[in-house]
Amino acid sequence: MRRLLGVLVAVCLLIGVVVLVQVQHHAAKAGSTSGGTVALSGVIGSEKADFFADGQVQQAFRSRGLSVSVQHSGSWQMGDDVTGKPFDFAFPASSVAAKAISTTITTTPVRPFYSPLVVIAHADTAQFLAQNNLATEDKTSHVWTFHMAAYLKDVQSKLSWEDLPGGARPGYVAGKIYVATTDPNSSSSASLYLAVMSYLANNSQVVSDQTGIDQVTPLLRYLMANQGALLSSSDQLFRDFVANTGKPLSWTYESEVAEQAMKGTLPDDTVVLYPDIDIQSDHTVVELTKPADALAQALLTDPTLIKLEAQYGFRPTNDPQAMVQALTAKTKKQQTGFPLDLSSLGTFQPPAPTTDILKKLVAASSSGSS
């Protein structure tokens, strides 16, 4: 009898050890820390770096049992950067770039917030654009619109700023007409610029095959070649604008302009121009492990994080007007350059090309010469 009891005790102890090992194994795979917090690591675009570095943002994550660390990468580089690495999520600046990132998680990707892409200029340049039918200002809302078809026509004619007949041209507005972008090989904002321009150049049709790619390739090469050396991230391009390095027009995220306005570091004469044909930048969480869903849902639904997203210039999916409201509260003045409701702009948003086609458009833009 004693021998039988001894055997039973030994078996129970063995089972207990096996269960304990399995629990610890699964906890380790989920990234749990000893305090019950789930540790997550990810790759994000540089345009979200300040947001993730904010102490209030990190505290909001911790209050939901998350410890989040990030590295920065261009949206189109993320697929390579996360391959074979122990990352839990990737967070590119567009849904098209998100589709290029491989994951075994089959849940629908979450878009916690978004930002339209805009053209920024100094006030004297904006007036010069208006005098040459490239832009208009709404006299009631004071929101500016950039006319993409008119811009395309001037670019296709290979005009210089000096060729435009209307108004007084600022001295630094010289050379070929172009909008400065980042490098589309690494940056989502620039690839979306190519998507818009290819749509316009393809008779207002989304490029969907090699014939369409071949048709628009000369234009895309010209647009990129005129810029010279390209910067890898939108925050670098924006810093160049603030430093007034001689690029009359720059293509960037509305969020970066709004963030600088909230910080008080935006030049007083900055004009934000909303393209009348534009593809929105949908910041999309790509879950690489199951625990990353907790991060995606926190960014989408947590009231504190939604408020902080707005304070960094993003338009939260669940509260689109929060960004302009935050800017008004921060600056203590009514905002006129940023529309409270983007639908009031009447902007046409063409469908984005497929991920495969957009990759080919990007490759075509940097091959050969103009």
If asked whether residues 76 and 123 sit together in one domain, one would say no
In the chain, the number of structural domains is 2
- Residue 134, C-beta contacts closer than 8 angstroms, at least 6 positions apart: 146, 147, 150, 151, 154
Residue among 140, 96, 147, 142 nearest 119 (CA)? 147
Would you state the structure tokens that stand for residue 274, as one six-digit string? 């909303």
CB atoms within 10 A of CB 263: 13
- Scanning 266-354, the segments in alpha helix (DSSP H) are 292-301, 303-311, 322-331
Would you state the structure tokens that stand for residue 98, as one six-digit string? 């998100």
If asked whether residues 79 and 155 sit together in one domain, one would say no
If asked whether residues 164 and 200 sit together in one domain, one would say yes
If asked whether residues 139 and 261 sit together in one domain, one would say yes
If asked whether residues 152 and 164 sit together in one domain, one would say yes
Q: Are strands 315-316 and 110-115 parallel, antiparallel or unpaired?
A: antiparallel
If asked whether residues 195 and 295 sit together in one domain, one would say no
pLDDT score at 20 = 34
Strands (E) located in 219-365 = 250-253, 270-275, 281-287, 315-316
CATH number at residue 354: 3.40.190
If asked whether residues 93 and 136 sit together in one domain, one would say no
Would you state the structure tokens that stand for residue 228, as one six-digit string? 């010279």
Q: Are 272 and 338 in contact (CB under 8 A)?
A: yes
Q: What does the alpha-carbon distance between residue 63 and residue 40 come to, in Å, rounded to a whole number?
A: 14
**Residues in the chain with pLDDT < 70?**
1-35, 334-336, 368-370
If asked whether residues 146 and 258 sit together in one domain, one would say yes
Flag whether 182 is in a domain. yes
If asked whether residues 231 and 82 sit together in one domain, one would say no
CATH number at residue 323: 3.40.190.10
If asked whether residues 104 and 211 sit together in one domain, one would say no
Q: Which residue has the tokens 């050379």?
A: 175
Region for 31 from its dihedrals, namely left if φ exceeds 0, alpha if ψ lies in -120 to 50, beta otherwise: left
The residues facing 283 across adjacent strands are 113
Residue among 333, 317, 296, 355 nearest 113 (CA)? 317
Would you state the structure tokens that stand for residue 324, as one six-digit string? 């302009």
- Residue 217, C-beta contacts closer than 8 angstroms, at least 6 positions apart: 364, 365, 368
Q: Which residue has the tokens 């934000």?
A: 272
The residues facing 286 across adjacent strands are 90
